[in-house]
């Protein structure tokens, strides 16, 4: 709880790393994830740092790994995650990884090139075979002058080839126009589809056979074939040579198929090696690169021949740092660490678990806590779901939300839920514990409101008795016929038997004035809870004043703020409870208006028509207003005047050392001005700046008490909107399914219930839930946290080898 209540103590330390063991020490620290390293060479270019060669070598290996991964994916294999997190490789092992990866990459390039060449050669042979076998049943003459029998004896030359089916029409038309019909061309589709080398798709090629006469015609045909990217093959003129060609093609295809099969097997063996070794290599090289990037941030001490690093380290982890340095040090060289003083604000470290991470992320979205200031997250674990539930109070809706979150919690270790790619789903999954509490609190407030899908539940008998009212009143048949609405008088003995045991009495759901009753109840409840919430935020500021040794703020800021809030709005809460307690049903007609009393309080007047709540009310209210007004100048001028008075004796005295027994200038990146000033900021304080800052704070606080109190009325508005939407959805949709109590009505009820369920989830759970969540978020950020929370810090980002990033 201590770490969650405020950030841990973090110190600045120096690490003295011997050159021989610096790599292993950083590796050990990275495995533990304890330190955040500072860059001691901010003005040095990345290309001029000490270990730039090693970083480049790691990047070259990463390029090789990228090529290997692409080859695996092109072969239809997905590289799996690393089974276990290997440690960063030593220098000799890194050389071995580099050699083996480059050797595998070279083998893959050669085998892939040979396979592509063999596939292309085999494809050409098969196309040539089909072109030799394919003889059209009926040649088609393109000459419009001479008949076929006249041309056939003169045609001596042949051209055979394969063309893409999309280019056949244009190819045939251009042949006829260029050769003027002095040829005979025939086109036949290939009996089996083959791969297109350009697109990789499987298509049915078209075989063409052209008979022509004359060398010029042949040259034109070859040029046109080249333009259309046709594969042209020599066509045997005699039947004997054609048979020999076909036989030879069959033999070559068979031999190439055997060679290609062996090549595929060897390629599969190489890919198996890559798939087995690549995940481990990638993790090792990425760790190795991260280590050298950290070493580039260190400063090299020439005299001591060691590397000096500055780190932010949690104080409780200093012993683990020493242990990591001992384990990483090789024999003969010992690395050490020392704490050094600093005037810089350390980073913020708040350790969380899977339950508190969601609430902490809500606070961090507003701003990371300043160093060791009070953290609102542990209180938001209760207040955030409760404020959400006030706006979302319904037993049925809360139960659905609770069950959904419970399912995510029970199966939180499932890889399917954790490794989703949908960003919205991952947001829901990360906040599963937050949703679980929001659903549970909504069930509680739903019982308070006595609403379950907008319907009241009679868990206990109603405290109102209609029978007693009917027996003791003059309700005749004629009266009942002319008055559809009847009034229950609580002053009649036995009609009202006392308060309902828990929540709202279910009889109010039948009353015509139930909306007025709930409006009054929820509005006062919102004001009371809002003022309590803001007061709790002011009280939390006390822990900051005490922790940072600013006890003057307890008198000059905390006390005036509490007086201003309690004298005005705390008094309003008192009036609400006092009126609830003092006035009963018997004298409710003469009960005064709190609103008018509150207005008269600021006007220093009284209203004769509005009776006082208690004797001496007007003087008490005048004193409270005077106290509230008197606290404003104290809040405005107290802190600036105190700091001005404290500055005068300090400026005339001597400078104090950084820490007792230590000298300034121990930091290797401290400037000369820092050393000369002792690490402190200048003693001179700008009184004008301090006064302006305090004036802004005073105005913001005083006006904020009014506006923030009104802002909490959104609890009433959102709760009313949710209840009315739920009631409208039941009345307009679900009630229509109960019109007919028959078999037909049962059939109609199925689609009606389906529509009701879909609309309930889409509108009341998703849309209304998101709206209530955003309003609860605003109430915490603006109305609650600005009373004590600065949020001007920055997170501690320790150097660590996170497994998720490598995978």
Summarize the confidence of residues 54-76 as an average pLDDT.
90
- CB count in 10 Å sphere of residue 710: 12
Is the pLDDT higher at 78 or at 53?
A: 53
Whether 270 is in a domain gets the answer: yes
pLDDT in tens, 108-118: 999 988 888 88
Whether 797 is in a domain gets the answer: no
Q: How many CA atoms lie within 13 A of 734 on its CB side?
A: 16
Whether 618 is in a domain gets the answer: no
| DSSP β-bridge partners for residue 219 | none
98 and 26 share one domain: yes
pLDDT at 304: 64
Summarize the confidence of residues 121-150 as an average pLDDT.
59
134 and 150 share one domain: yes
pLDDT at 654: 43
Where a domain ends, among 259, 291, 313? 259
Is the pLDDT higher at 672 or at 207?
A: 207
pLDDT at 227: 87
pLDDT in tens, 386-424: 999 999 999 999 999 999 999 999 998 888 888 777 888
pLDDT of 675 over the 60 cut: no
126 and 231 share one domain: yes
Domain containing 14 equals 8-107+265-340
Summarize the confidence of residues 533-555 as an average pLDDT.
93
Pairs from 664-669 (Cβ < 8 Å, separation ≥ 24) = 664/341, 666/14, 666/340, 666/341, 667/12, 667/14, 667/310, 667/340, 667/342, 668/14, 668/40, 668/299, 668/308, 668/310, 669/38, 669/40, 669/299, 669/310
**Mean predicted lDDT score pLDDT of the chain:** 84
Whether 183 is in a domain gets the answer: yes
280 and 238 share one domain: no
pLDDT at 389: 96
pLDDT of 673 over the 70 cut: no
160 and 71 share one domain: no
300 and 318 share one domain: yes
Instruction: Characterize 406-434 residue by residue with b for buried, 16 or more Cβ atoms within 10 angstroms of its Cβ, and e for exposed.
Output: eebeeeeeeeebeeeeeeeeeebbebbbb
134 and 98 share one domain: no
241 and 119 share one domain: yes
Nearest to 205 by CA among 124, 121, 118: 124
Q: How confident is the model at residue 685 (pLDDT cuts 50, 70, 90)?
A: low
pLDDT in tens, 609-638: 888 888 988 999 999 999 999 999 999 999
Q: What is the DSSP string of 579-646?
A: HHHH--STTGGGPPPHHHHHHHHHHT---TTS--SSTTHHHHHHHHHHHHHHHHHHHHHHHHHHHHHH
Q: How confident is the model at residue 156 (pLDDT cuts 50, 70, 90)?
A: low
Beta strands in 367-450 (DSSP E): none
76 and 153 share one domain: no
Where a domain ends, among 320, 340, 360? 340
130 and 216 share one domain: yes
Summarize the confidence of residues 305-309 as an average pLDDT.
86
pLDDT of 1 over the 80 cut: no
Whether 251 is in a domain gets the answer: yes
Structurally, how many domains does the chain consist of?
2
Whether 463 is in a domain gets the answer: no
pLDDT at 714: 95
Whether 601 is in a domain gets the answer: no
Where a domain ends, among 212, 240, 259? 259
* CATH number, domain containing residue 139: 3.30.70
Measure the CA–CA gap between 450 and 431, rounded to whole angstroms.
28
132 and 249 share one domain: yes
Is the pLDDT higher at 514 or at 773?
A: 773
126 and 195 share one domain: yes
Q: Are 6 and 348 in contact (CB under 8 A)?
A: no
Whether 162 is in a domain gets the answer: yes
């Amino acid at each position: 709880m201590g770490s969650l209540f405020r950030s841990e103590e973090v110190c600045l330390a120096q690490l003295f790393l011997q050159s021989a063991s610096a790599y292993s020490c950083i590796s050990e620290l990275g495995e533990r994830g304890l330190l955040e390293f500072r860059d001691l060479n901010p003005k040095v270019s990345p290309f001029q740092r000490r270990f730039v060669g090693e970083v480049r070598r790691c990047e070259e290996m990463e390029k090789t790994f990228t090529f290997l991964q692409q080859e695996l994916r092109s072969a239809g294999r997905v590289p799996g995650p690393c089974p276990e997190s290997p440690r960063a490789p030593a220098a000799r092992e890194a050389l071995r990884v580099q050699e083996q990866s480059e050797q595998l990459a070279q083998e893959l390039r050669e085998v892939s090139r040979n396979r592509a060449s063999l596939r292309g050669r085999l494809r050409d042979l098969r196309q040539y075979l089909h072109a030799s076998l394919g003889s059209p049943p009926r040649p088609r003459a393109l000459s419009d002058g001479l008949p076929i029998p006249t041309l056939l004896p003169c045609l001596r030359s042949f051209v055979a080839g394969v063309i893409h089916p999309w280019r056949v029409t244009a190819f045939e038309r251009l042949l006829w126009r260029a050769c003027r019909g002095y040829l005979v061309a025939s086109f036949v589709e290939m009996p089996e589809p083959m791969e297109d080398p350009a697109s990789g798709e499987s298509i049915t090629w078209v075989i063409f056979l052209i008979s022509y006469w004359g060398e010029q015609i042949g040259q034109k045909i070859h040029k046109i074939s080249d333009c259309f990217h046709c594969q042209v093959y020599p066509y045997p003129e005699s039947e004997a040579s054609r048979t020999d060609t076909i036989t030879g093609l069959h033999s070559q295809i068979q031999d190439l198929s055997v060679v290609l099969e062996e090549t595929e097997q060897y390629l599969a063996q190489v890919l198996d090696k890559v798939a087995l070794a690549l995940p481990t290599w990638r993790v090792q090289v990425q760790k190795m690169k991260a280590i050298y990037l950290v070493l580039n941030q260190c400063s090299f001490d020439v005299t001591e021949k060691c590397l000096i690093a500055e780190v932010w380290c949690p104080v409780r982890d200093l012993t683990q740092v020493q242990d990591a340095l001992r384990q990483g040090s090789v024999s003969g060289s010992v690395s050490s660490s020392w704490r050094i003083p600093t005037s810089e604000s350390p980073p913020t470290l708040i350790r969380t678990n899977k339950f508190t991470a969601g609430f902490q992320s809500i606070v961090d979205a507003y701003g990371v806590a300043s160093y060791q200031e009070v953290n609102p997250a542990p209180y938001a674990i209760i207040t955030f779901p409760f404020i959400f539930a006030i706006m979302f109070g319904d037993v049925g809706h809360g139960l659905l939300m609770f069950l959904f979150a419970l399912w995510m919690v029970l199966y939180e270790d499932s890889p399917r839920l954790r490794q989703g790619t949908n960003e919205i789903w991952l947001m829901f999954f990360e906040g599963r514990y937050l949703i679980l509490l929001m659903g549970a609190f909504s069930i509680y407030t739903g019982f308070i409101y006595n609403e379950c899908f907008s319907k009241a539940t009679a868990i206990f008998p109603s405290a109102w008795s209609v029978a007693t009212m009917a027996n003791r009143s003059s309700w005749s048949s004629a009266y009942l016929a002319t008055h559809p609405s009847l009034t229950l008088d609580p002053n009649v003995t036995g009609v009202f038997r006392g308060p309902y045991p828990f929540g709202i009495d279910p009889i109010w759901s039948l009353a015509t004035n139930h909306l007025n009753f709930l409006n009054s109840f929820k509005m006062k409840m919102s004001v009371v809870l809002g003022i309590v919430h803001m007061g709790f935020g002011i009280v939390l500021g006390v822990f900051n004043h005490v922790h940072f040794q600013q006890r003057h703020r307890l008198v000059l800021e905390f006390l005036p703020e509490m007086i201003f809030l309690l004298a005005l709005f705390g008094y309003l809460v008192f009036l609400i409870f006092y009126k609830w307690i003092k006035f009963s049903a018997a004298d409710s007609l003469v009960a005064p208006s709190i609103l008018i009393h509150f207005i008269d309080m600021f006007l220093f007047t009284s209203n004769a028509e509005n009776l006082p709540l208690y004797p001496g009310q007007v003087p008490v209210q005048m004193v409270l207003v005077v106290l509230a007004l008197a606290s404003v100048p104290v809040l405005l001028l107290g802190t600036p005047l105190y700091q001005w008075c404290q500055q005068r004796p300090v400026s005339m005295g001597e400078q104090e050392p950084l820490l007792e027994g230590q000298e300034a200038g121990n930091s290797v990146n401290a400037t000369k001005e820092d050393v000369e000033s002792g690490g402190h900021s200048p003693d001179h304080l700008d009184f004008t700046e301090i006064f302006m800052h305090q004036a802004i704070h005073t105005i913001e606080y005083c006006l904020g008490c009014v506006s923030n109190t009104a802002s909490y009325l959104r609890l009433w508005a959102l709760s009313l909107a949710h209840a009315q939407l739920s009631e409208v959805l039941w009345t307009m949709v679900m009630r229509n399914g109960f019109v007919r109590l028959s078999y037909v009505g049962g059939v109609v009820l199925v689609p009606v219930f389906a529509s009701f369920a879909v609309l309930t989830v889409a509108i009341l759970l998703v849309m209304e839930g998101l709206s209530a969540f955003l309003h609860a978020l605003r109430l915490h950020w603006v109305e609650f946290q600005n009373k004590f929370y600065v949020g001007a810090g920055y997170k501690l980002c320790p150097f660590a080898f996170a497994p998720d990033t490598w995978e």
